[in-house]
């Protein structure tokens, strides 16, 4: 390439840089002029300055007006440079340039002249900022702004909304704006036609507007508002029922996790393990311990806690089986008392080694928050993950029981221990592995519980009785029975609690179980073989 061509390209690049620089300087000069008008206008003239900034099309306009509304827009007296206050504690405030966004460090508050806003203009600024948001190119931003307007539309904004609705392409945003305008018309104008728009709405501001209309002197308005509220109440009942069902399923999933390991050990060995709740506690404390080892990484710690909690609880289960249970086979009452003693020992051990106080396990960001179904129903993510986790564990156990040699031997020993031994199956080895598996699943239940409740020495005690009820109701040793029984009892308990209270609801569930086993002593899905004969 010739020298003249290279020189020409270099000159062209320099021209582009110079032109860009000149354009930026021109834009900054115009922006500086807009802010100067705002700062130097009188209280009565400031609204015109605000509208001029809002209509300027500058991408920085929203930030300026929001800072102005919060008394965080100002300028340095000595240089006239406009700044936005980031932190206003102490004598020196942290600021950034209003034009470039550059952090300017700390400046003495005495050197800052704040651009003041009065209350009347601050209230109008909310609507002006909303209009700016409603002109955003992103649909999500416009939808969020439209939803935020419900209950906060004023007369000025009400005049502009029809124009914005006509220009809006998104049906969801347009519907939200229509509802926001209808709320204003019902509250401020008593518009009967707008009442029909709010019929069936689950928004709290819409309900408040309709309730206000029901107290009106206009009989037609009262009748229309009453009818609209009736439709809303019907929808609210359905949403409350859905929320109750969701909480019931989440409680049921915890009961399934807590009971499924117990169902396996009880079905194979006939052991009533009262220390099962403490194995859950060990799984929960393992999760807490992993987070202490990995500070700042709660998500990774939780994922690693799944295999760790299983192993800790499984090893503890093997220790209990080898030291206590194997010496008491065939003596269920002594086994019950011995494992109850083990549970007390484990509780006291945790109190002595760690603390008698509850510990909080941090929920990762991806498990926090909720999924919003509508304005009256949202599903918390941590419970949703627990439900999914319980189903995954259940599916894993079904695969083990149906597709592995251990599962085959467990089923054989469950149905007829003597026959299984005569076929060469080592029943003692099966007992150890089964107890380890059941205990490990209890540890997994503890990991899940750590995400919905505090971790403490008494954590397992709240679930041990319910776990036994699930096992008895579903059928000893039957995994499908345990799943259905856990989900059913969790849902029934949540349905009863609102009107019966927590304690009475537990009693009613217990009475139901007692009456049920009078008719079906072996549960929903009775076990075959030795378990059926026992």
pLDDT tens readout for residues 261-271: 888 877 667 77
- What CA–CA distance (Å, rounded) separates 362 from 367? 10
What average pLDDT does range 69-84 have in this prediction?
A: 84
pLDDT of residue 90 exceeding 50: yes
Among residues 444, 437, 494, the alpha carbon closest in space to that of 466 is found at 494
- What CA–CA distance (Å, rounded) separates 529 from 534? 9
pLDDT confidence of 72, banded at 50, 70, 90?
confident
- What CA–CA distance (Å, rounded) separates 202 from 234? 10
Q: Tokens at residue 416, please?
A: 């007829």
The DSSP element (H or E) to which 267 belongs, if any, is: helix 219-269
Question: Is pLDDT larger for residue 448 or for residue 329?
Answer: 448
- What CA–CA distance (Å, rounded) separates 329 from 96? 75
- Give the pLDDT confidence score for residue 282 in this predicted structure: 93
Complete domains list, the chain, with CATH: 26-120 (2.30.30), 242-460 (no CATH)
Contact 76, 114 (CB under 8 A): no
Contact 447, 286 (CB under 8 A): yes
Contact 312, 443 (CB under 8 A): yes
Judged by phi (left if over 0) then psi (alpha if -120 to 50, else beta), residue 362 lies in: beta
- Give the pLDDT confidence score for residue 314 in this predicted structure: 93
Residue corresponding to tokens 């209509």: 55
Lowest mean pLDDT among 164-168, 358-362, 501-505: 501-505
Most confident of 255-264, 406-415, 515-524: 255-264
pLDDT of residue 20 exceeding 50: no
pLDDT tens readout for residues 487-513: 888 888 888 877 777 778 878 888 888
Residue corresponding to tokens 């992993």: 290
The DSSP element (H or E) to which 84 belongs, if any, is: strand 82-87
Question: Is pLDDT larger for residue 230 or for residue 43?
Answer: 230
pLDDT confidence of 129, banded at 50, 70, 90?
confident
SS3 assignment, position 34: helix
pLDDT tens readout for residues 200-247: 888 888 888 888 888 888 888 889 888 988 888 888 888 888 888 888
pLDDT of residue 22 exceeding 70: no
Burial 452-467 (b: 16+ CB within 10 A, else e): beebbbebbbebbebb
- What CA–CA distance (Å, rounded) separates 167 from 67? 28
- What CA–CA distance (Å, rounded) separates 402 from 424? 20
- Give the pLDDT confidence score for residue 527 in this predicted structure: 60
Share of residues in the chain with pLDDT > 90 (%): 10
- Give the pLDDT confidence score for residue 1 in this predicted structure: 52
- Give the pLDDT confidence score for residue 16 in this predicted structure: 38
Lowest mean pLDDT among 11-25, 277-291, 327-341: 11-25
- What CA–CA distance (Å, rounded) separates 63 from 228? 40
């Amino acid at each position: 390439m010739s020298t003249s061509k290279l020189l020409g390209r270099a000159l062209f690049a320099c021209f582009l840089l110079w032109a860009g620089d000149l354009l930026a300087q021109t834009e900054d000069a115009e922006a500086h002029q807009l802010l100067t008008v705002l700062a130097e206008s009188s209280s009565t003239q400031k609204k015109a300055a605000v509208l001029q900034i809002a209509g300027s099309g500058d991408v920085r306009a929203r930030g300026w007006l929001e800072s102005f509304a919060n008394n965080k827009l100002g300028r340095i007296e000595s240089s006239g440079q406009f700044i936005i206050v980031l932190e206003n504690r102490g004598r020196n405030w942290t600021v950034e340039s209003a034009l470039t966004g550059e952090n300017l460090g700390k400046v003495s508050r005495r050197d800052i002249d704040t651009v003041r806003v009065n209350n009347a203009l601050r209230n109008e600024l909310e609507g002006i900022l909303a209009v700016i948001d409603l002109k955003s190119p992103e649909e999500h931003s416009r939808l969020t702004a439209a939803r935020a307007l419900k209950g906060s539309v004023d007369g000025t904004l009400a005049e502009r909304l029809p124009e914005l609705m006509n220009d809006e392409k998104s049906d969801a945003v347009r519907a939200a704006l229509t509802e926001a305008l209808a709320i204003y018309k019902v509250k401020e104008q008593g518009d009967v036609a707008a009442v029909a728009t709010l019929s069936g709405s689950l928004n709290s501001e819409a309900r408040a507007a309709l309730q206000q209309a029901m107290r009106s002197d206009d009989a037609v308005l009262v009748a229309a508002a009453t009818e609209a509220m009736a439709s809303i109440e019907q929808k609210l009942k359905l949403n409350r029922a859905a929320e109750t069902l969701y909480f019931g399923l989440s409680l049921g999933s915890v009961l399934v996790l807590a009971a499924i390991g117990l169902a396996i050990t009880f079905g194979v060995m006939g052991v009533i393990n009262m220390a099962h709740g403490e194995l859950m506690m060990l799984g929960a404390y393992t999760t807490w311990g992993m987070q202490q080892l990995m500070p700042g990484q709660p998500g990774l710690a939780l994922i690693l806690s799944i295999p760790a909690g299983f192993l800790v609880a499984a090893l503890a289960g093997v220790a209990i089986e080898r030291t206590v249970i194997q010496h008491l086979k065939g003596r269920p009452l002594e086994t019950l008392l011995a494992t109850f003693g083990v549970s007390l020992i484990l509780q006291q051990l945790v109190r002595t080694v760690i603390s008698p106080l509850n510990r909080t396990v941090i929920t990762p960001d991806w498990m926090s928050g909720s999924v919003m179904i509508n304005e009256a129903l949202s599903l918390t993510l941590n419970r949703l993950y627990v439900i999914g986790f319980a189903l995954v564990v259940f599916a894993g156990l079904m695969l083990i029981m149906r597709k592995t040699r251990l599962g085959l031997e467990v089923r054989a020993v469950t149905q007829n221990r003597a026959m299984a031994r005569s076929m060469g199956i080592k029943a003692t080895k099966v007992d150890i592995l089964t107890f380890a598996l059941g205990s490990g699943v209890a540890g997994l239940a503890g990991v899940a519980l750590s995400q919905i409740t505090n971790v403490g020495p008494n954590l397992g005690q709240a679930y041990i009785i319910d776990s036994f009820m699930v096992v008895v109701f579903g059928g000893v040793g039957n995994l499908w029975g345990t799943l259905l029984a856990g989900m059913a009892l969790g849902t029934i308990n949540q349905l009863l609690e609102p009107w019966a209270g927590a304690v009475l609801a537990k009693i009613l569930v217990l009475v139901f179980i007692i009456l049920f086993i009078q008719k079906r002593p072996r549960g929903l899905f009775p076990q075959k073989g030795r378990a059926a004969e026992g």
